[in-house]
Structure 1
Amino acid sequence: MSGSPNGAVDRRAFVLGTAAAAGAAALAGPLAGSAAAAGFGWSDDGSDYVVDTGAGLVLKVSKTDGDLTSLVYKGTEYQGYGGKNSHIESGLGASTVTLARSGPTILISVAHGTLRHYYAARSGENNIYLWTNKADSSVTATRYIVRVKAGLFRDDEPDSYTYTTSTVEASDVFAKSDGQTRSKHYSKRRVIDYDYIGWTAGGVGLWIVRSNHEKASGGPFYRSLLRHQGTDGGGLYEVLYYGENQTESERFGLQGPYVIAFTDGGAPSSALYHGTLTTAWADALGISGYVPDNGRGRVAGVGITGRDTAYTYTVGLAGPAAQYWGTARACDGYFSMSRVLPGSYTLTVYKGELAVRTAQVTVSAGATTTLGTIAVPSSNDPSNASVVWRIGDWDGTPGGFKNADLMTYAHPSDARASTWTGNVVIGSGSETSAFPCYLWKDVNSGLLVYFRLTAAQAAAAHTLRIGVTTAYANGRPQVTVNGTWTSAVPSPPAQPSTRSLTVGSYRGNNHTFTYSVPASAWLTDTGRYNVLRIDVVSGSGTTGHLSAGTAIDAIDLLM
């Protein structure tokens, strides 16, 4: 597994939980710690608990509200910008904050209403382990933000707006003088794609190593803000429920640990990654909602048949209380998920990001639920249908369509985007790359697709399918063929109600619209092009890129 300064990792061959057995060995390395580390201990300065790990890291936690008020590494203060601390949400306010030491571990506990939050420091480590137990919706979202002083880590990445103040949407999407856009939303990454996020400069790396997100919502392909950087400083996030682009109900309970980690410039130790990290040292600390490894189970699948080997397959578990996922092995589809909370789950097999198989699974504490070979029926994969023509492929993403890659880290108005208008000719060889990944009512509605039919094809009725991955403001496609036949306006499927297409995410609920086109709609002259017009219809939305819109997965005309 490789890392880079911005935290990107190659997860394509990674199976969640396969490294669990190596956990004990991993602890012999950078996480070993020592109760005798010089300087390890804590003090009370009146307003804060002050903890020295004995390894160069000194942190302070407010006794009033549980904010992290100071983060000093090797003599340099990293915490804070704009007079703000690091904390849950935008700060909890008045809370009960306590401290306890257990051998080489110091635990600070924060109680605010029904919410419980924890900081743990270990002797000899430059890490802070955090857990958050959100019991209900009395706290709006679930995020922790590490606020970092200005000037320590400067970059000009998509999720930075250090060098620009001109806004193009709301107050959080910015444009540079060269027309490139920046926003804290533009992380590029899905949850499954990264283990850590942060910066490195001057021989120091500051990172958040994410938790396993078992209490988060949205599944393995969810995208959310991970970090930002502006003129006043930067922020690193652990987002568990943000309320934007959410496709699932919020889950409650204890989440963690996630880790604030300092290094001497390199990536954080892989021993801290959620699939590797073991925290037996925390089993007896009294953390509310904590379930040790022996209270968890495992799910393993022998393999998956019926796969399209051109795609990566992911297996997810989702229940009302927790979620997990793992990548199926390319050669045979084997998968494994460890440290799963006991309960009943829906297991979903994804081709790319498209669900192609579901089943029910029960997990018990201390046991492995072994599944036999899972078969994906041919009919479950829409790519297997015989077609007259197809634009794109069915994988649950807009991948391959015009501007699709750019849209995970830029606004649609970005100067690097190809024009959103333009028609498509079947047989040109560029059907997919010429077709825009997003369609909006106020931008490129009315796009035309030209295609020819044989005499036999023109004599028959056909089904047209348009697959979408999400929509904004109930935008959905209505089609017209040759100006003579127009479909009914389809009902809108359930989709997230917040911005998606303009904040780096095409992820919503995959849906397929089908249109039964009668033979009378086709041209009988086989030398002429039939013309398919696709309009976006909705009574909602505003203008431009915030008008009603939708993201395209694939379009095809069945035989």
Structure 2
Amino acid sequence: MSGSVNRPVGRRTFVLGTAAAAGSAALTGPLAASASATSATSATSATSATGFGYRDDGSNYVVDTGADLVFKVSKTNGDLTSLVYRGTEYQGYGGKNSHVESGLGTSTVTARQSGTTILVSVAHGTLRHYYAARSGENNIYLWTNKADSSVSATRYIVRVKAGLFPNDQPDSYTYTTSTVEASDVFAKSDGQTRSKHYSKLRVTDYDYIGWATGSVGLWIVRSNHEKASGGPFYRSLLRHQSADGGGLYEILYYGENQTEPERYGLQGPYVIAFTDGGAPSSALFPGTLTTSWADSLGISGYVPASGRGRVAGVGIAGRNTAYPYTVGLANSAAQYWGPARASDGYFSVGGVLPGAYTLTVYKGELAVYSTSVTVTAGTTTTVNTLTVPSSNDPGNATAIWRIGDWNGTPGGFKNADLMAYAHPSDVRAAPWTGNVVIGSGTETSAFPCYLWKDVNSGIVVHFKLTAAQAAAAHTLRIGVTTAYANGRPQVVVNDTWTSAVPSPPTQPSTRSLTVGSYRGNNHTFTYSVPASAWLTDTGAYNTLKIYVVSGSGTTSYLSAGTSIDAIDLLA
């Protein structure tokens, strides 16, 4: 997702986000990469733009940014009740406003101007939420501080009127009415599926989300997610489009397919940004945005840049250079991540709150190394070259045969790419059944990325062994990336040897495989297969049957299932 094209777009153009690691404003649609002058961030405006200010209309605080944006915040509950850009109202559908979660209810709402900044503060129990406007900018900066579980605040949703940004993308269900699953997965008449869950993107893959026409772009630029949960590879709903209107989301914590407990504290800023149709300014991106102008605003839980530190690593040895590596930092209070340089594994993760962290090195999405680091405000913690032990990477083990790559994802398996933005029942999916022959050259692409108890349990892998191999016991490994309803593999070799039913590892309890996410807890099942299980005829094919077992789940694609990372038979 790099590069750009400098030409206008039609009204049906949509844009997802750019990868933060790419460090550019490159787009996924035919949009100019540069932001318009009306969207540029000026963090050091010396004077107020003409018209900049706010007033009280009795029901709302009305904020004029002095540019092309005027917005209103309810004095009753802190909802964003109006979002007018260049005279057009964008906010609201179905009688609903834009707000934290589904609306906070009665709150204490105040507003004040500090030089070239206006801050609207919302207090609801222990929760604090903030809207900030900067003179001359078409941006709204938002922070949300959830202190505890007393308030169910997991997201901010910008509700957008219908018809302003029509599209027919994977996360749109404007043109479909048939429900496939629950009340949020739909099928079009041509058999393609749509859902708000089908964003395609992991958190690390995007900086912003939204829509654009030839003359206007409306975006949410995400925060750094330091108080979110799930790490860099977490997927969640980012936007939707329906007959009622559209929604853009900043997910602070979402209860679906979560691998970590909820973190509390101030999250932000995330930014609602309008442009003339181009991308939002890269100065707004997480990792780039500076907010020294907010240091003295009194935002609850706010920590300025001077109160943060950095972790920098000299390099990472023992890498498999065919794969990207990511370095993550996490504790119970915060999470951060950054890419390791391809040439030597150098990494630098900044803006980190002080404290002790677990540093994890990921090969793809598979954790292969961890250590501890302590971050101090105002300093850089330097980490000497980290060496990933060969035994930590399962891909280094010598195998008689292997299906897939040990990278913590089902990438390369049949239907894997489609599953990030479609339901398994989608007409574009290849058949989920079909057996695999080792040596065919299509072992991985022919093997389905997901296995379900009620869909394709019992898939068969055919393989030959030499006389020496058949005379010895071997370890079979099956790596998985998540599971639904405690689905896990039990294997049968040559219809004569059956493994025990393995215990289920800890996995998220919610839907995953049918809502665009394979990201759970990577786990490797191992099976010690005795020599007596193999065929002694070296010209005959041995058979490995893989079943999904569980007493939970329902039927079809909601029966117990699991996502495959790699399968191999060790030498």
For residues 518-553 of structure 1, give each alpha carbon's deviation from its aligned partner in whole angstroms, at most 9, with x where no partner exists.
000000000100000000000000000000000000
Pick aligned residue for 2:403 from 387, 391, 398: 391
The answer to whether structure 1 residue 227 and structure 2 residue 239 are counterparts is: yes
Q: After the TM superposition, which residues 61-460 of structure 1 pair with which residues of structure 2 at under 5 Å, given as runs?
A: 61-460=73-472
Deviation at 1:9, TM superposition (A): 1.8
**In 2, are the aligned partners of 1:158 and 1:183 still within 8 Å (CA)?**
yes
Matched position secondary structure for 1:284? coil
CA gap 1:10/1:42 in 2 versus in 1, 3 angstroms: closer
**In 2, are the aligned partners of 1:14 and 1:327 still within 8 Å (CA)?**
no
Alpha-carbon separation, structure 2, partners of 1:72 and 1:29: 19
**In 2, are the aligned partners of 1:153 and 1:199 still within 8 Å (CA)?**
yes
Deviation at 1:8, TM superposition (A): 3.2
Partner of 1:6: 15
Partner of 1:504: 516
Matched position secondary structure for 2:548? strand
**In 1, are the aligned partners of 2:192 and 2:428 still within 8 Å (CA)?**
yes
CA gap 1:159/1:109 in 2 versus in 1, 3 angstroms: same
**Partner amino acid, structure 2, of 1:444:** N
Matched position secondary structure for 1:504? coil
**Partner amino acid, structure 1, of 2:557:** H
CA gap 1:28/1:69 in 2 versus in 1, 3 angstroms: closer
For residues 99-132 of structure 1, give each alpha carbon's deviation from its aligned partner in whole angstroms, at most 9, with x where no partner exists.
1110000000000011000000010000000000
**Partner amino acid, structure 2, of 1:61:** V
Alpha-carbon separation, structure 1, partners of 2:531 and 2:416: 34
Alpha-carbon separation, structure 2, partners of 1:414 and 1:211: 33
Deviation at 1:29, TM superposition (A): 5.7
Deviation at 1:14, TM superposition (A): 5.0
Partner of 1:24: none
CA gap 1:28/1:549 in 2 versus in 1, 3 angstroms: closer
Deviation at 1:91, TM superposition (A): 0.3
For residues 40-67 of structure 1, give each alpha carbon's deviation from its aligned partner in whole angstroms, at most 9, with x where no partner exists.
0111110000000010100000000000
The answer to whether structure 1 residue 470 and structure 2 residue 485 are counterparts is: no
**Partner amino acid, structure 2, of 1:119:** Y
For residues 47-105 of structure 1, give each alpha carbon's deviation from its aligned partner in whole angstroms, at most 9, with x where no partner exists.
00000001010000000000000000000000000000000000000000001110000
Matched position secondary structure for 1:350? strand
Deviation at 1:138, TM superposition (A): 1.5
Alpha-carbon separation, structure 1, partners of 2:20 and 2:107: 39
Aligned-residue CA RMSD (Å): 1.3
For residues 181-228 of structure 1, give each alpha carbon's deviation from its aligned partner in whole angstroms, at most 9, with x where no partner exists.
000000000000000000001400000000000000000000000000
Alpha-carbon separation, structure 2, partners of 1:10 and 1:387: 35
Partner of 1:489: 501
Alpha-carbon separation, structure 1, partners of 2:117 and 2:422: 43
**Partner amino acid, structure 2, of 1:557:** L
| Corresponding pairs, count | 548
**In 1, are the aligned partners of 2:40 and 2:137 still within 8 Å (CA)?**
no
Alpha-carbon separation, structure 2, partners of 1:10 and 1:246: 22
**In 2, are the aligned partners of 1:441 and 1:537 still within 8 Å (CA)?**
yes
For residues 389-429 of structure 1, give each alpha carbon's deviation from its aligned partner in whole angstroms, at most 9, with x where no partner exists.
00001000000000000000000000000000000000000
**In 1, are the aligned partners of 2:146 and 2:153 still within 8 Å (CA)?**
no
Alpha-carbon separation, structure 2, partners of 1:334 and 1:13: 15
CA gap 1:101/1:29 in 2 versus in 1, 3 angstroms: closer
**In 2, are the aligned partners of 1:536 and 1:548 still within 8 Å (CA)?**
yes
**Partner amino acid, structure 2, of 1:383:** G
Alpha-carbon separation, structure 1, partners of 2:556 and 2:378: 54
Matched position secondary structure for 1:246? coil
TM-score calculated relative to the size of structure 2: 0.95
**In 2, are the aligned partners of 1:33 and 1:125 still within 8 Å (CA)?**
no
Pick aligned residue for 2:540 from 512, 528, 531: 528
**In 2, are the aligned partners of 1:48 and 1:60 still within 8 Å (CA)?**
yes
TM-score calculated relative to the size of structure 1: 0.97
**Partner amino acid, structure 2, of 1:532:** L
CA gap 1:204/1:409 in 2 versus in 1, 3 angstroms: same
**What is the percentage of aligned positions where both structures have the same residue?**
81
* Residue segments in structure 1 that go unaligned for 5+ positions in a row: 16-26
Aligned structure 1 segments of 4 or more residues deviating by more than 2 angstroms? 1-5, 10-15, 27-36
**Partner amino acid, structure 1, of 2:545:** R
Partner of 1:60: 72
Deviation at 1:240, TM superposition (A): 1.4
* Residue segments in structure 2 that go unaligned for 5+ positions in a row: 6-13, 25-38
Matched position secondary structure for 2:457? coil
Alpha-carbon separation, structure 1, partners of 2:22 and 2:280: 20
